[in-house]
Amino acid sequence: MLAARVLSDGGWSVATAGDISGALALRPLEFDVVIIDTRLGPERGTELFEQLRAQDPLVSRRCLVLTGAVADPRPDDVAVLLKPFRADDLLDAVNGLAGRRPTENGPRDGVRPGRAG
Amino acid sequence: MSRPGTAGPQQAAAERLLFLMIALQERENRALTDALHDGPMQDITGILLSLASLRRGLPEDTAERIAQIETRLRDTTATLHRPPPPFRPGNTPRQMLELGLTQRVEGVLVERLYISLDIDSSPPVLGEVAVLLATVQLLLQESDPIHQAARALVAIRSSPEGIDLALRVAYAAAATQPYAPDLTARASSTSATPAPGGADGPGPGPGPASDAAADEGTPEDIVPRVSAASWLERLRPVAELLGAQLRADSATGAWSAMVRLPRRSARPR
């Protein structure tokens, strides 16, 4: 929730979900950026990513994986943000994936990135 | 593990124990990683995001100081990340051995470890890697349960017939030989109780000299009596169990162990 607030303050419209089914219900492929925690309770965020990639092979270009462990398995071709991270790290990563420059952190209409998980 | 041609149920049981020891280390490592991720890393991320939220309402100079604290907190915490485990899926036998030896031997059992691997033409399987890693760990641990050796060389060569492991261990010129039961210690009064494992346990046991010096130092100030015989006697049963042939230099405390693991296909049925 704190991450969602940081992104909201950075000008993004954010939707969140706590598990894979909830994330899929948000239709994440329609979002500009999909942020996935590797650990979603008993589920693996990488499973969500694989499901999304099966639907859209290019989704990795707009996915950001959050992980707290170097050893966590994760896809090779996806941007990764290692915990702990600063708010600015998160915003920079999301803006980078969406093609926004770090200085463009102000509110912006019409952008619908999301955080799933 | 054994001399060629002597493979049998006892060796298989010993190898199984070595494998289980490594499996246990992997499991412990995974549990620690999970605990770190699900606890402190999540919490500190939350603190960092809260700080960022707080700083947005502050004057510029104060906000800058908070931002610096955020960076320091992130960078400091990042050093706590545990390295990828040696037996991570996808790792080659060479990576497993190098990571395992680097993470679990260097800095733990020896100060500086040199590794020489000639294994690519006939690489060890996972179980063999575990046995090799555990053998090195156990020999070093039993040779000295307290001090790190200054240097060690682990050389492994594999062929279709078997795997040869050579371990050579040396101590700093001014340092002690491996810890022996007859070592005495300048121990504080609180350490003058029997070590958990008895005289061979992980710490100097009580003795007249330690009593005499009870107020003079710390448990780390161990003074050796020059006796290679006692630690060699302690190491020998473990070496025998592991099928290791020992050689020691009583003058320097340096020693070496040679172990041969026959390959499964080369072992008599």
pLDDT by residue for chain B (269 residues), tens digit each?
A: 545 445 577 888 999 999 999 999 999 988 888 888 878 888 999 999 999 988 988 999 999 999 999 999 999 998 888 888 899 888 999 999 999 999 999 999 999 999 999 999 999 999 999 999 999 999 999 999 988 999 999 999 999 999 999 999 998 875 556 666 544 333 333 333 333 333 333 332 333 333 333 343 434 444 443 466 678 888 999 999 999 999 988 777 799 999 999 986 655 54
The angle subtended at Cα B149 by Cα B147 and Cα B155, nearest 5°, is 140
Test B53 with A2 for CB contact under 8 angstroms: yes
Cβ contacts (< 8 Å) between A6 and chain B: which residues?
49, 52-53
Preferred mutation among B30, B45, B72 to probe A, highest tally of A CBs within 10 A? B45
Spatial separation of the C-alpha atoms in residues A87 and A3, rounded to whole Å: 7
Whether A106 has a pLDDT exceeding 60, the answer reads no
Contact B41 A83 (CB under 8 A): yes
Residues 62-81 of B with CB under 8 A from A: 67, 70-71, 73-74, 77-78, 81
**pTM, 2 dp:** 0.70
Give the mutation candidate from B26, B33, B38, B48 for the A interface (greatest A CB count, under 10 A).
B48
Mutate to test the interface with A, among B81, B95, B103 (most CBs of A within 10 A): B81
The Cα of B45 is separated from the nearest Cα of chain A by a number of Å equal to: 4
Shortest distance, CA B83 to any CA of chain A (angstroms)? 6
* Cβ separation B33–A69 shorter than 8 A: yes
Contacts of B38 in chain A (CB under 8 A): 39, 68
What distance in Å separates the CA atoms of residue B70 and residue B53, rounded to the nearest whole number? 11
Whether A117 contacts A23, CB under 8 Å:
yes
**According to the model, what pLDDT value does residue B211 have?**
38
d(CA A86, CA B132): 42
Q: Transcribe A21-76 into DSSP letters.
A: HHHHHT-GGGSS-EEEESEETTEEHHHHHHHHHHH-TTGGGGEEEEES-TTS---T
Q: Measure in Å the smallest separation between the Cα of B70 and chain A Cα atoms.
A: 7
| A3 → chain B, closest CA residue | B49
